[in-house]
Structure 1
């Protein structure tokens, strides 16, 4: 249980760090790229598995790690934008509501049971994302305010599904740091290509504070993932684990938003957060 608690705490801090990027005008993409080289370094430093770099592509989990690396940098960037444009609570809800995607995946792939309660939970989750993105209690939610929360919702769900699937089917005990290092390494390489493209197009502007931001992000990012992977290997059932993890992050991030950033939530946001918690409980314990 301690691994899960630590993962929740550190994952919540990631949203706070993204909010700080907006306050201090740190380039999110550059910081994210630096974050991955830092996380890669921690993965290599803490790994007890000695595998030559040339043999990493031959590992059973490499293809999965490469795909997850692409998703990591894409979704991480979307998470940063959502935190800055829509607020911490919205970003947290949108990201954590994605728990419905692994559950749907389990229904389709693993032939898990489905019933009225589970379907209700999935519908409530979608409504929660909509309401949590609202900017006014009287005006309808604008499509432009939904784009990034929805992208975060889908992307986070695919990452959770893929991470759990690859970890349980291909990653042996003790290989977690190397597996994570490979994911972060792939994300870093992909990020470098994006930055090179920006440099060619004359859109790249370097600032030292972006490196500091990346270091600040990279260390907790690595340990949030490592603790989550270790929690996967405990006796806690997946449905219970995802429930505690996602509800915990939603609640803790909302508390941080209210206490440290004085974010104001309208009635729709509170209803959305409430439905978010209810929907997670529904789909996980159905």
Structure 2
């Protein structure tokens, strides 16, 4: 569970940086693009990965993840703008249902009573932790906003499943797989950025690039530890799926309370408490 905890911390750092990006008028699209260049560099420096032979590599999975990572990241940014932060957060957290369902139907994970109890508590924690009553003043939800929410819901769920498959593919070192995925993500994001620059929606700026590189450090840690968690807990993928989502909510809420002085309702506080209980119960269910 150490790898799960480290992945949760990196994930929350990414969220904090994205929140600060809006405050300091950072172009999130450009930051997302350059974050992958830093992830590529860190992967090469720390692990010296080799390029896997084409005949033994799951190229279809690589392409799918490489495409989805930057695209879903950018769709989330649009979703926040047209549907609001609260609705986007609901879609993101409820995507937990997709990989959990896959872990039992596709990956041979087994349920026991304690795990069921932990998952039920976890779902309750998710629902209670979301700020349902938060107002979106001066914001109109556009008629097609549900499309972006649906893409976020399915996109994040599918990415979780694909990363599980990458971690389970032992014929290729996972660091090599990660290296290829980062390269594909950077190329795809760079193409999208090039289109935005050509259409004069944005322009190159060092603050955006520098922020993106810092974002890449946290993003690198998030995905690296997430893959390590799946390898360490390969027999129980539902543990990783659930603990990650529940843990991000719990830690993210606490950081929002302490760092950003966000207010918590009574239900939110109960949700954070239940999230901690759920992680403990799910951990015990594997022993």
Shift, 1:98, TM fit: 2.0
SS at structure 2 position matched to 1:26 = coil
SS at structure 2 position matched to 1:233 = helix
Number of aligned positions between the proteins: 275
TM-score (normalised: structure 1): 0.76
Matches of 1:41 and 1:254 in 2, distance apart? 31
Matches of 1:270 and 1:142 in 2, distance apart? 28
Matches of 1:77 and 1:268 in 2, distance apart? 30
Q: What is the aligned partner in structure 1 of residue 95 from structure 2?
A: 98
TM-score (normalised: structure 2): 0.76
Q: What is the aligned partner in structure 1 of residue 255 from structure 2?
A: 256
SS at structure 1 position matched to 2:63 = helix
Matches of 1:2 and 1:121 in 2, distance apart? 23
Q: In the alignment, is residue 77 of structure 1 matched against residue 74 of structure 2?
A: yes
Q: Alignment partner for residue 213 of structure 1, among 197, 211, 214?
A: 211
Report the CA distance shift for 1:57/1:45 in structure 2 as closer, same or farther (over 3 A). Answer: farther
Matches of 1:240 and 1:90 in 2, distance apart? 26
Give CA deviations for 1:78-108 in whole Å, capped at 9, x if unaligned. Answer: 4445678845x87666434322101222344
Q: What is the aligned partner in structure 2 of residue 18 from structure 1?
A: 18
Report the CA distance shift for 1:149/1:133 in structure 2 as closer, same or farther (over 3 A). Answer: farther
Shift, 1:191, TM fit: 1.1
Alpha carbons 1:56, 1:62 under 8 Å: kept: no
Q: In the alignment, is residue 31 of structure 1 matched against residue 31 of structure 2?
A: yes
Alpha carbons 1:39, 1:184 under 8 Å: kept: yes
Q: What is the aligned partner in structure 2 of residue 199 from structure 1?
A: 197
Report the CA distance shift for 1:19/1:146 in structure 2 as closer, same or farther (over 3 A). Answer: farther
Alpha carbons 1:64, 1:162 under 8 Å: kept: yes
Which stretches in structure 2 are left out of the alignment for 5+ residues?
Answer: none
Shift, 1:8, TM fit: 1.3
Q: In the alignment, is residue 239 of structure 1 matched against residue 238 of structure 2?
A: yes
How large is the RMSD of aligned CA atoms in angstroms?
4.1
Alpha carbons 1:12, 1:249 under 8 Å: kept: yes
Shift, 1:170, TM fit: 5.2
Map of 1:110-259 to 2, 5 A cutoff?
Answer: 110=107, 128=127, 132=131, 134-136=133-135, 150-169=150-169, 172=172, 175-235=173-233, 237-259=236-258
Matches of 1:45 and 1:74 in 2, distance apart? 26
Matches of 2:146 and 2:265 in 1, distance apart? 16
Shift, 1:194, TM fit: 1.0
SS at structure 1 position matched to 2:200 = coil
Shift, 1:30, TM fit: 0.5
Report the CA distance shift for 1:110/1:242 in structure 2 as closer, same or farther (over 3 A). Answer: closer
Shift, 1:207, TM fit: 2.0
Which stretches in structure 1 are left out of the alignment for 5+ residues?
Answer: none
Matches of 1:29 and 1:161 in 2, distance apart? 25
Q: What is the aligned partner in structure 1 of residue 60 from structure 2?
A: 63
Shift, 1:195, TM fit: 1.7
Give CA deviations for 1:101-129 in whole Å, capped at 9, x if unaligned. Answer: 012223443576789x69x959x67x939
Shift, 1:204, TM fit: 2.7
Give CA deviations for 1:27-47 in whole Å, capped at 9, x if unaligned. Answer: 011111000111011112223
